[in-house]
Amino acid sequence: MDAATLAALGQEIVYVQWFAWLDIVDDPVRAVSGVQPIAFEPGDTGDPDLDGYTFEAIPGDLVDISDVGHDEGGSETVTARLSGLPIEGGLLDIVEQKSKWRKREARLWFRVLEPSAFGPGGNPIEFTPLPIHRYYSGYLVNLTVETSAEDQSIVASIENYQAALSEGSGLTYLHQVEFDPGDKSAEQTLAAANGMQKAGVSGGLIRPGGGGGIERNNYRQVNK
């Protein structure tokens, strides 16, 4: 981390701007805390996940990102909550389609804003941004809508790479479409299996058998 940022973080009052990217298929989320969108030109930061992209502004009081904890197994899961959103059909469709977001990449960055001009009462009115720093990378493992009498929120859970790659998923090839929306192997396999059942073929492992039949496991089915 650069010396200027380290020095600023040691001040009594620190002004921080947060950036987030969620790699949702066909609808990636790029957001920044604040009141104005931030557009990075190619080569601005040297980070290919930032340069050339625009991050849409979200008021900071509607965003809550949990602290990042670290232990011997790596960093803990981070939760990002975005409140005050109208929950409409398109957004609900994305949440319900896990193949669009489950185990896809997510990034979080921050940068310190140093006051450069002050208004009445000594309140800062202009800021100079310091270099931006990536502080968390992982996979999006959960995306939910939470509603209450007061508000409604989108809640995203981001898990570090080590935990996401080492966990026992309990998944089979039938879940492949959750990670690759274009994968049709499970659908085609099930269709083929259904076709075999309709043709009267049932049982377990199939291997060639003599005598004009099909030997399956420990029994024979004679073709007629």
Q: How many domains does the chain have?
A: 2
Please check whether residues 121 and 18 belong to one and the same domain: yes
The answer to whether residue 178 is domain-embedded is: no
Least confident range from 26-40, 104-118, 133-147, 206-220: namely 206-220
Domain containing 142: what range? 3-167
Average pLDDT over residues 50-56: 94
Please check whether residues 134 and 193 belong to one and the same domain: no
Please check whether residues 92 and 196 belong to one and the same domain: no
pLDDT digits (tens, 9 = 90+) for 60-83: 778 888 877 655 555 578 888 877
Please check whether residues 69 and 109 belong to one and the same domain: yes
Three-state SS letters, the chain: CCHHHHHHHCCCCCCEEEEEEECCCCCCEEEEECCCCEECCCCCCCCCCCCCCEEEEECHHHEEECCCCEECCEECCEEEEEECCCCCHHHHHHHHCHHHCCCEEEEEEEEEEEEEEECHHHCEEEEEECCCEEEEEEEEEEEEEEECCCCEEEEEEEEEHHHHHHCCCCCCHHHHHHCCCCCCHHHHHHHHHHHHHHCCCCCCCEEECCCCEEEECCEEEECC
pLDDT digits (tens, 9 = 90+) for 174-183: 545 555 566 6
Q: Name the pTM for this structure.
A: 0.65
Please check whether residues 17 and 90 belong to one and the same domain: yes
